[in-house]
Structure 1
Amino acid sequence: MIKLRLIKFIAFLVFASLCAVVAQSVYGQDSKTQLQNKKAKIEEEINYTNKLLDETKKSKQVSLNQLVLLNKQISKRQELIAAINGEINNLDHQIEETNDTINHLTSTIKKLKEEYARMIYYASKNRNAYSRLMFIFSADDFNQAYQRLKYFQQYSSYRQNQVRVIKENQLLLNSKINLLEKQKSYKLSLKRTEESEKQKLTSEKNIQDKTVKSLSQKEKDLLKKLRESERAARKLQKAIEDLIAEEIRKASEAAKKSGTKPAAENKFGLTPAEIKLSSNFAGNKGRLPWPTERGIISSTFGEHPHPVLRGIKTKNNGIDITTGKGESARAIFDGEVTSTMVLPNYNNVVIIRHGEFLTVYSNLDQLFVKKGDKVTTKQRIGIIQADDSGKTKLHFELWQGKNIQNPESWILQSR
C-alpha cells in the first residue's frame, strides 16, 4: 500500500517550494520597488539641478551660485550611485535566492519523478485485472475487501495527482529560470548605468575644481559680498525680532484694557482662533508644503564652511531654495500677512503669522499680497527675484515666537 509518510513527504516538498517562491517574490518586489522609487527621485532632482545650472551658465561670469548648484549636483550624483549599488546588491540577493529556488525545485521534481517511476513499475507488475480481483476477493471479510478496493481507487487517483504535481513544479521551474535570466540582464544594465554615472561624477568634479580655482582668484570680491550678506541677514533678523516685540506689546496692552490676564512674558497674546491655528500648524510638522512648487535646497539651516573661502563659516537662519526663473513663493499654511518690507540683499520680504508661528519669504520681486491679507495654504504671495547671474533663490525662515526653527524639520522631505 501507499504509505502515508510518503504522501506527506511529497506534499511537504511541493508546499515548501511554493512558500519559497512566494516569499522570494514578495520580498524581492517590495525591495526593488523602494530602490527604484528612490533612484527615480534622485534622477529627477539631478535633472532639475541640471536645468538650473544651464540657466546660470547663460551668464559668462563664473558665480558662487554655479558652484553651490554644482556641489548639490555632485552630492545627488553620489546618492544616485549609492542607490544603484543598493539595487545591485539587492539584485544579487534575489539572484542567489532564485538559484536556490531553482536547485530546490530541480531536486523536488527529481524526487517526484523517481517516486512516479516506482509507481509505474509497480502498476505494470500488477496491471492484470484478474490479479486485482483475486487480491480483493481473497480478503478475510467484507471490511477488508472494501479497504483493498479503496486502495486501488486511491492509488489510481494518487498517480494522476503525481503527474499534475510534476507538471506544476516543472512550470514553476521554467518560470524561475526565465526570471533568473531577466535578473542577470537587469543587473548588467545597472552596472552599465553605474559606470556612466561614475564618469559623469568625475567630469563634474573636474568642473568643480576649475570653478573653485576661478572663484579663489576673486577672494576679495567674495569676502565683500559675504560681509554684505551678513549685514543684510542681521537686518532681517532685527526686523523680525522688532515685529515680534511689537506684537507682544500690542497683546499686553490689549489685555490691560480688557482687564484680562496678560500673556506670559515674551509670549504672544493669542485669541482662541489663533491658539487653534497654532495647534494645527504644529500638528503638521514635517508635513507642511514647500514654499515653492519646485526647487532644490541650495543652502541649509545653521553654520557651514564657505564653499571657497578657507577658514570662514557662513550662518543661515533659514534655508535657501534655488528654483527656476519666474517661479512663485507660496504660503505654507493658513495665516495673515503681518508685514511686507524691502531690505538690501533680500528685496521684498513677506512675513506671515500663523498664531504663534511666523514664516518669512525673502527675495521677492512682484508681490501678490499686502499687510493684513488673509492667506491660505499654497496661495501664491509673490514672484521670486532673479539676478543677473541667472540665480532665482528664495530665502525662507520659520520662527516659533522668538525662537528660530529649522524649516527642513517642518516641511515635507519631498514635494
Structure 2
Amino acid sequence: MAEKLQNNIKQNRWLLSASLVIMLVLLISVGIVISVSSQTKNSKDALVSEKKRLEKDIEYTNNLLSQTKKNKEVSLNQLTILNSQIYQRENLINNISSEIGGLDGEIKGSAQIIEQLSNNLMYLKEEYAKIIYSSYKNRNEYSRLMFLFSAKDFNQAYLRLKFLQKYREYRQKQIEMILKTQELLGVKVNDLKTVKQNKQQLLLTEEKHKEELAKEKDQKSNNVKKLQSKEKELVSSLKDKEKSERKLKQAIENIITTEISKSTNRNKSSKVVKAPSSKNKDKKKDKKKDVKEPESPKLYLNEEEQTLSNSFEANKGILPWPLDNGVVTGSFGEHPHPVLQGIKVKNNGIDISTNANANAKSVFDGVVTGIISIPGSNKAVIIRHGDFLSVYSNLSSVNVKSGEKIKVKQPIGTVFTNTEEGKTELHFEIWNDKTLQNPTSWLSKRK
C-alpha cells in the first residue's frame, strides 16, 4: 500500500509541476492586465484632459459668438471667432476618434485576456479535480504512515513529511488560485461591458460634433460671402491695423534703444552684466578670429536684472496666460487673410478674445518700462523681465505706472471692448532683446 501511495505521489508531483506552470501563466496574465491597464489609463487620461479643455474652449467661444451676433451685421471679428470655433471642434473630433481607437484596442486586449483567463480557469479546475481524486484514493491514514515509515533513513522520512505538508498547502493554494482567477475573470468581463458602453457613448458624441461642425462651416461660408461684398471696407480696416502695429513696434523699439543707452551710461559708473543675446549663444566657435563683425548695441543688466532674465527664460512653456479666460483668435506669424484673397497678414504676437471688462495680467515678475497710447490699438503696457519684454496692447484703462515693479499675475489694465462688434481682444507679444518671439511657445498649455 505504501508503494501504491508512493506511485500516486510521484504522479501528483507531475501534477504539481504542471499546475505550477499554469499558476505562472496566470500570474503573467495578471501582469499583462495590470501593464495594459496602466498604459491605457495614462493615454486615456491625457485624451480625457484634452477633451475637457477643448469642450471648455468651445463653450467659451460659443458665448463670444453670441455676443458678436447681437449686432446683425456680420463682422470680421465674428468670422475670426468662428474660425477658432471650427479649429477647436475639429481638434475635439480628432480627440474623440483617438479615444475611440484606444477603446477598440482595449476591447481587443480585454477579450484576449478573458479568453486566456477562461482557459486557465478550466485547466486549473481539471488539475485540481485530478489532485482531489488522487487524494481520495489514498485517503487512508495508515498508507501515509507507511509511506513515512518505509523511508530508507531519517533524512528521507523528513523529506517525505515535508512533501506531504507542502502538498496540503498546495491544495489550499490551488483553491485560492481558482477563486482568484474566477474573481479576476468576472472583473474583466464587467470592465469589457463598461468599455463597450463608453465607446457607444463616444460614437454618439462624435456624430453630434460632426453635425455641429458642418453647420459652423456653412455659417463660415455664408459669412465670407457677406464680407467679400465689403472688400473696400476690409482693405481700409486692414491698412489701419497694419499702421497701428507698425507704430506699436516702433514705439517698443524706441523704448529698447533708450534703455540700451541708459544701461550703457550706467555701465560706465557701475559693475553690470552684459545681457547675452540669442545670436551670441548660437554663434559657432570656429569663426575666424581676424573677422570682426560690428556689434549692435546691447542692453547691460545688473545682477538683479540678469537673475530675473534667467528666471524668465527658465520658465519658457510654463508662463501663466495674460487673461483668466479667453481663446486665441489670432496666431503668431504670417497668415492668409480670412476673407481677402491673395493677401497675407502678419501678427507680431497673438490675439486673445475674451469677455467684456476682462483684466490683463502680467505673465511674470518685472518692471513697467513703458505705457503708450497707439491710435487703433488704444493703450499698451510694456513690462521688462531682464532681457525680455512682454507687451499687453488694446487696453482701455491702465492701473500701473511706468517704473513700477510688477508681480506675476498682477492686473495691469482692462481690455478694450468694441461695443459695435461685441469684440474684446487683447494683443500680446513677447520680445527677447530686439527679437520677436512666438508667445504660444512661452505660455503654459491651457487646462
**Superposition TM-score tier, normalisation by shorter sequence:** over 0.9
What is the CA distance between 1:64 and its match in structure 2? Answer: 0.6
Select 1:196's aligned residue among 200, 208, 214: 208
Structure 2 Cα separation of the partners of residues 325 and 160 of structure 1: 71
Q: TM-score, normalised by structure 1?
A: 0.94
Instruction: Say if 1:149 and 1:372 are closer, same or farther in 2 by CA, change over 3 A.
Output: closer
Structure 2 Cα separation of the partners of residues 287 and 141 of structure 1: 76
| Residue 242 (structure 2) pairs with residue 230 (structure 1) | yes
Report the more deviating stretch, 349-358 or 126-135.
Answer: 126-135
Q: Deviations over 1:128-179 (max 9, x none)?
A: 3344444444445555455444444433332222122111111111111111
| Residue 100 (structure 2) pairs with residue 68 (structure 1) | no
Select 1:370's aligned residue among 385, 401, 404: 401
Select 1:106's aligned residue among 79, 101, 118: 118
| Residue 44 (structure 2) pairs with residue 13 (structure 1) | no
Instruction: Say if 1:155 and 1:268 are closer, same or farther in 2 by CA, change over 3 A.
Output: closer
Query: What is the correspondence of 1:240-279 to structure 2 with a 5 Å cutoff?
Result: 240-255=252-267, 258=269, 265-279=296-310
| Residue 71 (structure 2) pairs with residue 59 (structure 1) | yes
Select 1:336's aligned residue among 338, 342, 367: 367
Give yes or no for contact 1:320–1:396 (8 Å, CA) kept in 2: yes
Give yes or no for contact 1:251–1:262 (8 Å, CA) kept in 2: no
Structure 2 Cα separation of the partners of residues 174 and 262 of structure 1: 68
Query: What is the correspondence of 1:169-208 to structure 2 with a 5 Å cutoff?
Result: 169-208=181-220
Q: TM-score, normalised by structure 2?
A: 0.87
What is the CA distance between 1:346 and its match in structure 2? Answer: 0.4
| Residue 134 (structure 2) pairs with residue 122 (structure 1) | yes
Gaps of 5+ in 1: none
Structure 1 Cα separation of the partners of residues 253 and 182 of structure 2: 75
Instruction: Say if 1:226 and 1:130 are closer, same or farther in 2 by CA, change over 3 A.
Output: same
Instruction: Say if 1:325 and 1:135 are closer, same or farther in 2 by CA, change over 3 A.
Output: same
Structure 2 Cα separation of the partners of residues 261 and 281 of structure 1: 19
What is the CA distance between 1:100 and its match in structure 2? Answer: 1.1
Instruction: Say if 1:164 and 1:259 are closer, same or farther in 2 by CA, change over 3 A.
Output: closer
What is the CA distance between 1:319 and its match in structure 2? Answer: 1.0
What is the CA distance between 1:269 and its match in structure 2? Answer: 2.7
Give yes or no for contact 1:270–1:355 (8 Å, CA) kept in 2: yes
Instruction: Say if 1:244 and 1:121 are closer, same or farther in 2 by CA, change over 3 A.
Output: same
Instruction: Say if 1:280 and 1:130 are closer, same or farther in 2 by CA, change over 3 A.
Output: closer
Give 1:290's aligned residue.
321
What is the CA distance between 1:86 and its match in structure 2? Answer: 0.7
Select 2:376's aligned residue among 341, 345, 348: 345
Instruction: Say if 1:95 and 1:252 are closer, same or farther in 2 by CA, change over 3 A.
Output: same
Give 2:427's aligned residue.
395
Give yes or no for contact 2:273–2:306 (8 Å, CA) kept in 1: no
Q: Deviations over 1:306-346 (max 9, x none)?
A: 00000000011111111111101111122222221211110
Instruction: Say if 1:259 and 1:375 are closer, same or farther in 2 by CA, change over 3 A.
Output: closer
What is the CA distance between 1:10 and its match in structure 2? Answer: 3.0
Aligned residues: 414
Structure 2 Cα separation of the partners of residues 398 and 42 of structure 1: 25
Structure 2 Cα separation of the partners of residues 45 and 265 of structure 1: 43
Structure 2 Cα separation of the partners of residues 203 and 373 of structure 1: 49
Structure 1 Cα separation of the partners of residues 38 and 103 of structure 2: 14
| Residue 50 (structure 2) pairs with residue 38 (structure 1) | yes
What is the CA distance between 1:355 and its match in structure 2? Answer: 2.2
Report the more deviating stretch, 141-150 or 295-304.
Answer: 141-150
Give 2:101's aligned residue.
89
What is the CA distance between 1:96 and its match in structure 2? Answer: 1.1
| Residue 330 (structure 2) pairs with residue 299 (structure 1) | yes
Secondary structure at 1:370 match in 2: coil
Give yes or no for contact 2:353–2:423 (8 Å, CA) kept in 1: yes
Give yes or no for contact 1:252–1:262 (8 Å, CA) kept in 2: no
Give 1:406's aligned residue.
438
Secondary structure at 1:297 match in 2: strand
Give yes or no for contact 2:259–2:299 (8 Å, CA) kept in 1: yes
Structure 1 Cα separation of the partners of residues 159 and 273 of structure 2: 95
Q: Deviations over 1:242-293 (max 9, x none)?
A: 222222223334445x398996642123222222222222222222221112
Give yes or no for contact 2:19–2:127 (8 Å, CA) kept in 1: no
Gaps of 5+ in 2: 1-8, 275-294
Give yes or no for contact 2:273–2:303 (8 Å, CA) kept in 1: no
Give yes or no for contact 2:228–2:340 (8 Å, CA) kept in 1: yes
Give 1:320's aligned residue.
351
Secondary structure at 2:102 match in 1: helix
Give the RMSD, CA atoms, in angstroms.
2.1
- The code of the aligned residue for 1:176 comes to K
Structure 2 Cα separation of the partners of residues 342 and 231 of structure 1: 14
Report the more deviating stretch, 241-250 or 388-397.
Answer: 241-250
| Residue 390 (structure 2) pairs with residue 359 (structure 1) | yes
Percent identical across equivalent pairs? Answer: 46
- The code of the aligned residue for 1:206 comes to D
- The code of the aligned residue for 1:88 comes to I
Secondary structure at 2:301 match in 1: coil
- The code of the aligned residue for 1:127 comes to R
Structure 2 Cα separation of the partners of residues 334 and 133 of structure 1: 86
